[in-house]
Amino acid sequence: MVLKLGFIGAGTVGTALAVRLSQQGYPVIAIHDLYPASAERFAGAVKGSKIYDRAQDVADIADFIFITTPDDFIAQVAAEVSWHAGQMVAHCSGAASTDVLAPARERGARVGCLHPLQTFASLEQAIENVPGSLFAIEAEEPVLSVLKEMATALKGTWLELTAEDKALYHAAACIACNYFYTLVSVASDLWQNWGKSSDEAIRAMLPMLHGALNNLKEVGLPKGATGPILRGDLVTIRKHLAALEKKAPDVLPLYKMMGTWTIPLALGKGTIDQQRAGELRELLK
């Protein structure tokens, strides 16, 4: 049986998923969003989809419904709609589990979540980046099998998680992706000390950041890691600490904490011994 898909929430993720699933032959027939302009953008991008004024209309007509609202509204939508037995309902949150879909499950629907491990800042970029992503799936059958098929159709891979894994899985994604931005932001602000804006700093650092990502891809961890901690260079670390203390004391705790978390990489790469690791730890206390 060909499943007819419906979406509640026509934001970045819902629209990008619908565009790509539709291109892979999944019939996307219905969309509802509180904001008419978002629904119109969705319907313009997804051939064959029709706009409905109520979430209930989408649930009445589709076999498989994605709730792609912001996380805070998933439970509310799940509770407000009258689902029927045999229907399938999924959301795309990384942190929330299928627990938020309990009202749908209680009414006989089967539930799941499909989280693209990606960062989507705009719709165009999301449509571009969805294919080939890893999709974290937490679901009961038959939703589990359907979501695995969708991940494969989107030329991606999938990872099956339990409800209990979800929050930690999402924290890991947040550390690797979102806090990477935080680190670049802190570093680029330091460039104001020699009269360069944050934008200029980012442009200047981009080739180095691309190089770091390439190293990560080509040689991985810990081999790709570089820098004074990896070299066990106490003299340079002391200079960094003194400069930060003078010019940016609020950054010192972050620098010391990140430095301390870098010591195991140096030990793993074999570029420092335990004695040097201890000296570095002492310096970064």
Interface positions with ligand NAP (CB under 6 A): 8-14, 32-35, 38, 55, 68-71, 73, 77, 91-94, 115-116, 118-120
Residue 67 or residue 280: which is nearer to ligand NAP going by CB?
67
The sign of the CA dihedral 177, 179, 185, 187 is negative
| Closest to 218 in 3D by CA, of 229, 210, 206, 227 | 210
Cis peptide before 222 (omega within 30 of 0): yes
The residue sitting closest to ligand NAP, measured at its beta carbon, is 11
Residue 145 CB, shortest distance to ligand NAP, in Å, is: 21
Q: Are 67 and 88 in contact (CB under 8 A)?
A: no
Residue 32 or residue 276: which is nearer to ligand NAP going by CB?
32
Residue 141 CB, shortest distance to ligand NAP, in Å, is: 22
177 vs 276: CA distance, rounded Å: 30
Residue 135 or residue 232: which is nearer to ligand NAP going by CB?
135
DSSP code for 175: I
Residue 81 or residue 266: which is nearer to ligand NAP going by CB?
81
Residue 25 CB, shortest distance to ligand NAP, in Å, is: 23
Residue 92 or residue 229: which is nearer to ligand NAP going by CB?
92
Residue 55 or residue 280: which is nearer to ligand NAP going by CB?
55
Residue 66 CB, shortest distance to ligand NAP, in Å, is: 9
Residue 242 CB, shortest distance to ligand NAP, in Å, is: 39
**Dihedral angle of Cα 137, 142, 145, 149, to the nearest 10 degrees:** -100
135 vs 147: CA distance, rounded Å: 9
Angle subtended at Cα 270 by Cα 269 and Cα 273, rounded to the nearest 5 degrees: 135
Residue 118 CB, shortest distance to ligand NAP, in Å, is: 6
CA-based diameter of the chain, in Å? 68
